[in-house]
Structure 1
Amino acid sequence: MPESPSKSSRPFVIPQFTPRDYGSFFMAGALCATISHGGMTPIDVVKTRIQVDPAFKNLGFITGTRHIITKEGASALLTGFGPTAVGYLIQGGAKFAGYEFWKKQFVEIAGDQETAVKYRTAIYLGAASVGEFFADILLTPLEATRIRLVSERGFATGLVSGFTRLAREGGVREMYSGFLPILCKQIPYAIGQFTVNELCHELVYRSMTEETKKNLSASANLTISLGSGITAGFAAAILSQPADTLLSQINKGHGPKGSMSYRLITLAREAGFRGLFAGLGPRMIMTAGLVASQFIMYDSIKHALGAPPGLEIHKED
């Protein structure tokens, strides 16, 4: 993750992270993800209902929120909070630690600073994708539980009962029925989140003189991190929106019988371009807040845990 700009002027050194360092990365990622995703639960509830509930088809975020409160009560906006918090606690830790791990591996494969800098975008893309893949293995069953709780009122009373019912009635196959669409959603999301954030930091710092970088105030650094995170959040939302819609449909039980790829293609054709991007507005708001807050919390928690800074491979000029 991008750190203080003053560190970018240091000689290029590949850090030798210890298991304790990766444990700190995992803990920081876990906490920032579960706090941010848990806090965004009401927005995600409205977004999911717009995607899968015919009664919400023509509603926007504000009207959808009012409709839920009027018909089901304000507490309905917290539906799925349990699996959201637990799922992203696990997934967030694995994703952030995985990104740090795989970025270092790919830099070592590059062999030298010049090659790593030249192919830095490919390194960001690869590290984000591979880290996200393994994190999604842990996330998928809990995400399936969350979507079922949100989209099917009365399915269960909470995380444990919902997870148990899903496992009992559908088994492993049903719990992982959304694995492919989750990959299609989360990998583009992670690419937007990490790659765009890295490139935004690089773009801002390259426009500054060394003297300006060294004298940046804490508020200026926070502004840069916030702006980069928001931009990365918008990119993550747009890249992952079609698969997010299809994931909600799959977990709702929509679509024909057959292989997952066939179901996804059929649902995508039925939804059309407009349908695939239904709910994008509230999701962009949610994702911008998620990504920006996660990066700020991640760096703060890492610092509090005494973790070393992440590996930087930004181009200097």
Structure 2
Amino acid sequence: MTEKASINAKLAASGGPAPFQVPQFTFRDYSKFFAAGALCATLTHGAMTPIDVVKTRIQVDPALARHSLLSAGRKIVASEGPSALLTGFGPTAVGYFIQGGGKFAGYEFFKKRFVSIAGDQETAVKYRTAIYLGASSTGEFFADILLTPLEATRIRLVSQRGFATGLIPGFMRLAREEGLRGMYAGFLPIICKQIPYAIGQFTVNELCHEAVFRSLSEEKKKRVRNSPIAMFGVTLGSGIIAGFAAAILSQPADTLLSQINKGHGPEGSMATRLIILARQAGFRGLFAGLGPRMIMTAGLVAGQFLIYDGIKHTLGAPPGIEIHKKTTTS
């Protein structure tokens, strides 16, 4: 601390860039970030289970490939009953509880680390997009280690009718029949899907917030920040745009993940299987189901940020680090 204070004093005396006052989050703070992220992810993903079931079936079932979200849903209900739309709810809720907590807490942790590495506010602001990209990617990578077996179970339950009666039987059957290798068969495609998703979710959300506040005068900024209704609108709008970006960036890998977990594709390394499946699907096939997924993802991302902020406030968690570029004054 003495050395850091000495460096800061020298910078201030020399007229150099001001050191960035990075908040010192405690373990308790990160546990609050984890709890807020876990709850917002499991609530939103759980609520979206019927849409996700239809989207996955559109991706893996040739008979539904050209159907819209509504018509495919009607066809599934007519042939399999309404309960089919809740297939995979268990692994969805549990998987995204763990993944959501890891992702949001990880983003806050790695953003703080990268801001600290930048060393001063000017450098952090200059490279803020790289910080967002690095923090979202790294946090998501570790969260996906926890998510992958549960996501494999969910997709198997949705795409193979009769595979198991629920989360625990499905998870146990997958572990028994295919082992650790089978449970993590989708790890490469899942990080190819989830990392672009997280980049769209966090980076675009941050940039949207920045764009809104840079367009306002200082007086209007204060009014917006002090108005729950105005902040709700900013969070909702930024979340919707970030959700669209997340869906588009992650759609090809999402389609391939569904195919891999259903057992499609040739033998060989995962990278080889992904390349061959991508060639077979073509551009149009890789983006099959994009419309329904954009609707789903916009709702997911916007809902997650709204719930995340609300739970953080309720738990008394500190705000995340803000490194937005400020409006320049003439």
2:131 is aligned to 123
Pair 1:169 & 2:177 matched: yes
Counterpart Cα distance in 2 of 1:264 and 1:92: 26
Give the counterpart letter for 1:21 in structure 2.
Answer: D
The secondary structure found in structure 1 opposite 2:112 is helix
Deviations 1:211-238 (A, max 9, x none): 0011122211111110000000000000
1:83 is aligned to 91
1:224 is aligned to 234
The secondary structure found in structure 1 opposite 2:22 is coil
Pair 1:38 & 2:55 matched: no
2:109 is aligned to 101
1:16 is aligned to 24
Match of 2:163 among 155, 161, 167: 155
Divergent runs of 4+, >2 A: none
Match of 1:248 among 258, 265, 289: 258
Give the counterpart letter for 1:242 in structure 2.
Answer: P
1:7 is aligned to none
Structure number, greater radius of gyration? 2
1:8 is aligned to none
Counterpart Cα distance in 2 of 1:57 and 1:225: 34
Segment drifting more, 157-166 vs 52-61? 52-61
Counterpart Cα distance in 1 of 2:96 and 2:139: 14
* Structure 1: unaligned runs, 5 residues or longer: 1-10
Counterpart Cα distance in 1 of 2:215 and 2:299: 26
Pair 1:275 & 2:285 matched: yes
The count of corresponding residues between Structure 1 and Structure 2 is: 307
Counterpart Cα distance in 2 of 1:285 and 1:161: 31
* Structure 2: unaligned runs, 5 residues or longer: 1-18
Q: Root-mean-square deviation (CA), in Å?
A: 0.8
The secondary structure found in structure 2 opposite 1:311 is coil
Counterpart Cα distance in 1 of 2:65 and 2:220: 50
Match of 1:314 among 293, 301, 324: 324
The answer to which structure, 1 or 2, has the higher relative contact order (CA under 8 A, 6+ apart) is: 1
2:311 is aligned to 301
Counterpart Cα distance in 1 of 2:234 and 2:271: 40
Cα shift at 1:13: 2.4
Counterpart Cα distance in 2 of 1:158 and 1:150: 10
The secondary structure found in structure 2 opposite 1:307 is coil
Deviations 1:49-83 (A, max 9, x none): 00001221221111100001100011100000000
TM-score (norm 2): 0.92
1:59 is aligned to 67
Cα shift at 1:12: 5.1
Deviations 1:224-254 (A, max 9, x none): 1100000000000000000000000000000
* Percentage of matched positions with identical amino acids: 78
Contact 2:20–2:119 at 8 Å: present in 1 too? no
2:191 is aligned to 183
TM-score (norm 1): 0.96
